[in-house]
C-alpha cells in the first residue's frame, strides 16, 4: 500500500469543451479543481500536488520532468464540442499518448475524453473509445476515481459517480490549484457547476450520458466561490449546467427562489467580483413556464455583469431535423424565448430595466446585461438544403423584428458512441461541407455584422479588455466572460495588459476599438483613422492643428459621437506634433 502522505502527484490539464462545460484558457474547468480536492481529501498534502496546462508543457519542456517523476500523473481533457480557441490549444491525441509514455509512475486519464477520441479536435468527425496507453481510464467521474485510487494505494478503483457531499468538499479543498494556473490571478475565469445531466435526449449530445439533472444546492456552489475568491479569483461563469433556469427544481421547471439564493449568495461572498456570467439556458423552459422564467431572468440580470450570454440550443430551425434528432424546441418557440430574454435582460447599465431591449443612438454605451445566443448544429440526421434556408429565415426574423442576439455559433456535429448520432456519424456533415461553408459566410456577412452593430453601437465602452496577440499591426484582445467580443485596436501594444476600449466599427464577429477615452491631443494616426469618417487626410489635419481645448474644437463631423469617446487632454511640454 502506498501512503497518500508520501505521494507526489502531477495534474495535466489538456482542456475540455463539452455542451455544458468549458475549460480552455482563460477558463479553468472544474476537473482539475475537483481532482485536486479529491487528492487532498484522500490524504495527499497540497504541497505535493503540481498542476500544469498542456500549453505550459509545450512552452517549457523542463516541466515534463514533473510528468516523468510523479508517483501519480492525472490527465484531464476531452473535446465533445468543436471550436476555435484563442487563449489556449487543446491537447491532441498524440500529445496525450506522449504523457502516458513519459509518466514513470501510475497514470490516470479522465474527463470527457472518456466519451471518445478522434484523429483531431474538429467537427464533422467520428470518435472511438481509446485508452491512449494510460494505466487507468476513469469511465465514471475522474475525481471519484482519483479519490478511490489513492485510497486503494494506487491499486485500482471502481468506476462510479461522486455524490453531492463529495463534490461540495472537493470543490472547496481543490480551490488552491488555481494559483498554479499560468493565467492566475488577473486573466482567469472559473467555470462553476450547478448541475449535470439533462432532462432531454437530443441525438448528438453527450450531456444526457450523465443521466437526469442532479443539482448542487446553493451553499455548495457559494462555498466554492468563497474558496476561489480567497485564492484571488474574481471572474466566474456559471456554465456547467444544461439549463440555468431549471436550477434547483425538478430538472425542467424554473425555481426562481433557488436562483435568488445562488446569485445572491455569490454576490455576498465575492462582493468585489469583476465577472459573473452564465452559459446554457433552455428555450423550451422559457416557453413552457414564461412567468417563472421571466422572474428567473430578472434575478440573473440584476446580479450578473454586463455582456452576459444565455446560449440557446436551437440546433436547427428545420422541423424535419428537429423530429429526427429529438430536438426539444421549434423555431417559433425559440423565437418567443429570444423575445422574452430581450425584454427581461436586454437593458443596459444606466437605464431603467423596463426599457430593454435598447439600441441605437439613445442607448447607454454599455453592453446589455443578458442576451440570448443561438447554437446551430449541422450534419444532423435529416439535414437537407432547405435546412440552411430555414436557419437563415429564423435569424433574419430575429433581426427584422428588433431583437438582439449576442452570439450565433455555427458548427458541425461530432459523433460519439452512446449517442444516437453514432449510427449516422459525420457522413452528412462531410457531404454538405461546401454548402455549410457558403451558408456560414452568408450568416457572417448578412446577419452577424448588423447584429453586432446593434448590440455594441459605436461609442460602446468595453472595460478591462485584456490584450492577447498581435496581427498585421493590430492588437487583439477580449474581456473576460461568456463569448466575449474580439476587439481589434490599432497599433502593436504591450500584451498582457488590460485597457478600456470604445467601439468605433464592426466586423463580422469582432469590433474595432480605440483606447477609452481617446485623447485627441495624443492619439496616433492609426487610432484616428480607425474612426469611421476620419481618413488619413482628416487625421493629418487633427494632428497638425493640435492641441485642442475640447473635442468640439476639432469639429470633425464624423458618424461616431466623439464626445462620448474622446477627450482633449493637456499635452506634456513638447508633446504637440
- The CATH number of 188-299 is 3.30.750.210
What's the rounded Cα separation, in Å, for the pair 285 and 248? Answer: 14
The pTM score is: 0.91
Domains in the chain: boundaries: 1-187, 188-299, 306-456, 460-567
C-alpha cell at 522: 495624443
Beta carbons within 8 Å of 537's beta carbon, 6+ residues apart = none
What's the rounded Cα separation, in Å, for the pair 339 and 434? Answer: 33
Beta carbons within 8 Å of 388's beta carbon, 6+ residues apart = 378, 435, 436, 439
Would you say 341 and 308 are in contact if contact means Cβ atoms under 8 Å apart? no
* Residue 70 per-residue DSSP state: -
CATH 3.40.50 is right for the domain spanning 1-187:
yes
* Residue 506 per-residue DSSP state: E
Strand partners, 214: 196
User: For residue 357, is the peptide bond before it cis, meaning its omega torsion is within 30 degrees of 0?
Assistant: yes
Sheet with 235-240, strands from edge to edge, namely 27-28, 189-193, 235-240, 275-278
Strand partners, 414: 125
- The CATH number of 460-567 is 1.10.150.320
From residue 231, alpha-carbon distances to 29, 37, 190, 238, 457 in Å are 16, 14, 11, 18, 36
From residue 292, alpha-carbon distances to 249, 373, 546 in Å are 12, 20, 57
pLDDT in tens, the chain (577 residues): 689 999 999 999 999 988 778 899 999 999 999 999 999 999 999 999 999 999 999 999 999 999 999 999 999 998 876 667 888 999 998 999 999 999 999 999 999 886 554 444 444 443 455 677 899 999 999 999 999 999 999 999 999 999 999 999 999 999 999 999 999 999 999 999 998 877 655 565 565 666 677 899 999 999 999 999 999 999 999 988 889 999 998 878 999 999 999 999 999 999 999 999 998 899 999 999 999 999 999 999 999 999 999 999 898 999 999 998 888 899 999 999 999 999 999 999 999 888 889 888 888 999 999 999 999 988 888 889 999 999 999 999 999 999 999 999 998 776 555 555 555 556 777 887 888 899 999 999 999 999 999 999 999 999 999 999 999 999 999 999 998 999 999 999 999 999 999 999 999 889 999 999 999 999 999 999 998 888 888 889 889 999 998 888 887 666 666 777 888 876 554 444 4
C-alpha cell at 54: 498542456
CATH architecture for segment(s) 306-456: 2-Layer Sandwich (3.30)
What's the rounded Cα separation, in Å, for the pair 28 and 239? Answer: 11
What's the rounded Cα separation, in Å, for the pair 332 and 79? Answer: 31
Taking residue 443's Cβ as centre, other Cβ atoms within 10 Å add up to 20
- Tell me the H-state helices in 311-384: 319-324, 331-345
CA angle at 446 for the pair 315 and 458, rounded to the nearest 5°: 110
What's the rounded Cα separation, in Å, for the pair 428 and 381? Answer: 7
> Which has the closest alpha carbon to 34: 145, 185, 179?
145
What's the rounded Cα separation, in Å, for the pair 279 and 244? Answer: 8
Asked whether this chain's domains 188-299 and 460-567 adopt the same fold, the reply is no
- How many residues would you count in the chain? 577
Would you say 382 and 309 are in contact if contact means Cβ atoms under 8 Å apart? no
> Which has the closest alpha carbon to 38: 230, 135, 175?
175
From residue 432, alpha-carbon distances to 203, 344, 396, 429, 440 in Å are 19, 38, 22, 5, 12
pLDDT > 90: percent of the chain: 69
* Helices 256-269, 218-230: inter-axial angle, 10-degree rounding: 20
What's the rounded Cα separation, in Å, for the pair 54 and 75? Answer: 10
The sign of the dihedral angle between the CA atoms of 313, 314, 320, 326 is: positive
C-alpha cell at 108: 490516470
Which helix (H) or strand (E) segment is 40 a member of?
Answer: helix 30-41
Q: In this predicted model, what pLDDT tens digit does every residue of 221-238 receive, in sequence order?
A: 999 999 999 999 999 999
Amino acid at each position: 500500500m502506498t501512503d497518500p502522505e508520501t505521494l507526489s502527484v502531477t495534474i495535466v490539464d489538456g482542456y475540455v469543451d463539452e455542451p455544458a462545460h468549458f475549460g480552455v484558457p482563460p477558463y479553468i474547468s472544474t476537473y482539475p479543481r475537483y481532482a485536486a480536492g479529491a487528492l487532498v481529501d484522500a490524504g495527499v498534502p497540497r504541497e505535493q500536488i503540481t498542476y500544469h496546462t498542456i500549453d505550459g508543457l509545450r512552452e517549457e519542456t523542463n516541466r515534463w520532468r514533473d510528468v516523468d517523476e510523479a508517483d501519480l500523473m492525472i490527465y484531464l481533457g476531452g473535446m465533445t464540442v468543436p471550436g476555435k480557441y484563442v487563449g489556449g490549444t487543446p491537447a491532441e491525441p498524440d500529445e496525450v499518448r506522449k504523457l502516458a509514455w513519459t509518466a514513470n509512475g501510475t497514470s490516470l486519464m479522465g474527463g470527457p475524453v472518456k466519451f471518445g477520441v478522434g484523429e483531431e479536435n474538429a467537427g464533422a468527425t467520428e470518435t472511438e473509445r481509446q485508452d491512449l496507453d494510460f494505466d487507468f481510464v476513469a469511465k465514471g467521474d475522474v475525481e471519484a476515481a482519483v479519490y478511490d485510487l489513492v485510497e486503494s494505494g494506487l491499486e485500482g478503483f471502481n468506476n462510479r459517480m461522486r455524490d453531492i457531499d463529495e463534490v461540495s468538499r472537493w470543490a472547496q479543498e481543490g480551490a488552491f490549484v488555481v494559483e498554479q494556473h499560468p493565467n492566475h490571478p488577473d486573466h482567469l475565469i472559473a467555470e462553476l457547476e450547478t448541475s449535470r445531466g439533462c432532462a432531454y435526449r437530443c441525438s448528438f449530445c453527450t450531456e444526457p450520458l450523465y443521466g437526469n439533472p442532479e443539482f448542487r444546492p446553493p451553499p455548495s456552489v457559494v462555498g466554492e466561490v468563497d474558496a476561489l475568491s480567497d485564492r484571488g479569483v474574481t471572474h466566474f461563469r456559471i456554465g456547467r449546467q444544461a439549463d440555468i433556469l431549471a436550477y434547483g427544481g425538478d430538472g425542467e421547471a424554473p425555481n426562481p427562489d433557488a436562483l435568488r439564493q445562488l446569485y445572491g449568495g455569490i454576490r455576498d461572498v465575492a462582493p468585489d467580483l469583476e465577472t459573473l456570467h452564465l452559459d446554457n439556458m433552455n428555450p423550451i423552459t422559457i416557453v413552457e413556464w414564461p412567468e417563472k422564467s421571466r422572474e428567473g431572468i430578472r434575478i440573473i440580470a440584476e446580479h450578473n455583469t454586463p455582456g452576459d450570454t444565455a446560449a440557446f440550443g436551437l440546433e436547427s430551425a428545420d422541423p424535419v431535423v428537429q423530429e429526427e434528432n429529438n430536438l426539444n424546441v421549434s423555431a417559433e418557440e425559440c423565437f418567443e424565448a429570444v423575445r422574452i430574454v430581450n425584454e427581461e435582460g436586454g437593458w443596459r447599465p444606466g437605464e431603467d430595466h423596463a426599457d430593454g431591449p435598447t439600441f441605437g443612438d439613445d442607448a447607454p454605451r454599455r453592453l446589455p446585461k443578458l442576451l440570448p445566443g443561438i447554437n446551430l448544429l449541422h450534419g444532423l440526421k435529416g439535414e437537407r438544403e432547405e435546412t440552411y434556408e430555414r436557419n437563415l429565415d429564423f435569424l433574419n426574423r430575429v433581426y427584422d423584428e428588433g431583437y438582439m442576439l449576442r452570439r450565433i455559433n455555427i458548427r458541425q456535429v461530432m459523433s460519439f458512441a452512446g449517442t444516437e448520432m453514432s449510427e449516422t456519424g459525420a457522413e452528412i456533415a462531410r457531404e454538405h461541407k461546401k454548402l455549410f461553408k457558403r451558408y456560414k459566410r452568408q450568416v457572417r456577412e448578412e446577419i452577424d455584422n448588423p447584429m453586432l452593430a446593434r448590440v455594441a453601437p459605436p461609442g460602446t465602452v468595453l472595460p478591462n479588455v485584456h490584450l492577447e496577440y498581435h496581427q498585421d499591426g493590430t492588437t487583439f484582445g477580449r474581456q473576460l466572460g461568456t463569448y466575449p467580443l474580439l476587439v481589434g485596436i490599432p497599433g502593436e501594444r504591450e500584451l498582457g495588459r488590460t485597457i478600456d476600449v470604445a467601439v468605433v466599427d464592426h466586423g463580422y464577429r469582432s469590433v474595432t476599438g480605440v483606447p477609452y477615452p481617446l485623447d485627441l491631443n495624443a492619439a496616433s494616426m492609426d487610432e484616428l483613422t480607425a474612426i469611421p469618417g476620419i481618413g488619413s487626410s482628416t487625421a493629418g489635419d487633427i494632428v497638425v492643428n493640435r492641441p485642442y481645448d475640447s473635442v468640439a474644437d476639432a469639429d470633425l463631423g464624423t458618424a461616431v459621437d466623439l464626445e462620448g469617446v474622446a477627450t482633449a487632454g493637456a499635452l506634456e511640454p513638447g508633446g504637440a506634433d
